A and B are shown apart, each in its own frame.
Chain A
Amino acid sequence: VSGPSITRAALEDFLYADAALLDEWQLDAWLTTFAADAQYIVPPLDVPDGDPATTLCLINENLAELTLRVQQLRDGLVLAERPRSRTRRMIGNVRRLDAAAVGLVRVAANFTIHRFRDGQRQDLIGHYDHLLRPTTEGLRFVRRRAVLDLETFAPVGVLTTLL
Chain B
Amino acid sequence: MRRLVRDDSQASVPSFSVDQTAYTDPDVYERERERVFAHSWLYFAHESEVPTPGSFLARSLCGRPLVLTRDLEGALHVVENTCAHRGARVCQEHRGTARVFQCPYHLWTYELDGRLRAVPDDERYATPLDRAVLGLRRPRMDVYRGFVFVAFDAEVGALTDHLGGAREYLDLVCDQSEQGFEVIPGTYDLDLNANWKLLAENTLDGYHLDKLHRRVYTAYAAEGRGALRRDGGAFALGGGHAVIELTPPVRRLTAFWAPPWPESLRPTIEARRIALEQKFGVARAHKMTQTNRILLVFPNLLVLDGESGNVWLRAFEPASTSLTHIRMQVIAPRGEEAAERTLRLREALRFSGPAARATPDDIEVMESCQRGFNNSRESDVSRGLGHDAQRHVDEVQMRGFWTHWQALLGDDR
CB within 8 Å of B: which residues of A?
42-47, 50, 52-61, 64-65, 68, 72, 77-80, 151-160
Contacts and interface: CB of A to CB of B under 8 A. Distances in A.
B184 interface: yes
A153 B222 contact: no
Contacts of A46: 94, 185-187, 189
A118 B348 CA distance: 29
A116 to B, nearest CB: 15
B341 A56 contact: no
B355 interface: yes
Contacts of A157: 190-193, 326, 354, 363
Interface of B: 94, 184-193, 212, 214-215, 218-219, 222-223, 326, 329-330, 338, 341-342, 345-346, 348-349, 353-355, 357, 359-361, 363-365
Nearest to B187: A46
Given A56-B348, A72-B219, A155 B191 contact: yes
B185 A152 contact: no
B326 A54 contact: no
A157 B214 CA distance: 21
Contacts of A80: 360-361, 363-364
4 closest A-B pairs (Cβ-Cβ)? Answer: A56-B186, A44-B186, A154-B191, A158-B360
Contacts of A54: 184-185, 341-342, 345
A80 B189 CA distance: 18
Given A60-B345, A159-B354, A78 B361 contact: yes
B189 A79 contact: no
Contacts of A160: 355, 360
Nearest to A155: B191
A31 to B, nearest CB: 15
Given A46-B186, A53-B342, A57-B349, 12 more contacts: A56-B186, A56-B188, A56-B329, A58-B354, A59-B349, A64-B223, A65-B223, A72-B218, A78-B215, A155-B191, A159-B355, A160-B355
A58 B350 CA distance: 10
A50 B363 CA distance: 26
A109 B364 CA distance: 31
B185 A55 contact: yes
Given A46-B186, A154-B190, A157-B193, A56 B345 contact: yes
Main secondary structure of the interface of A (DSSP, over half): loop
Given A53-B342, A68-B222, A151 B189 contact: yes
Given A58-B355, A68-B219, A160-B355, A53 B338 contact: yes
Contacts of A72: 215, 218-219, 357
A47 B223 CA distance: 29
Nearest to B191: A154
A32 B354 CA distance: 25
A61 to B, nearest CB: 8
A56 B338 CA distance: 14
Contacts of A44: 185-188
Contacts of A58: 188, 349, 353-355
Contacts of B186: 43-44, 46-47, 50, 55-57
Contacts of A151: 189
B248 to A, nearest CB: 24
A44 B349 CA distance: 11
Contacts of A65: 223
Given A50-B185, A78-B361, A153 B190 contact: yes
6 contacts: A45-B188, A56-B348, A57-B349, A72-B218, A154-B190, A154-B191
A59 B355 contact: yes
A160 B357 CA distance: 9
Contacts of B184: 54-56
Nearest to A53: B342
Contacts of B357: 72
Nearest to B353: A58
Nearest to A56: B186
B312 to A, nearest CB: 10
Nearest to A158: B360
Contacts of A79: 212, 360-361, 364-365
B355 A56 contact: no
Contacts of B189: 45-46, 151-153
Contacts of A56: 184-188, 329-330, 345, 348-349
A78 B338 contact: no
Nearest to B184: A56
Nearest to A52: B345
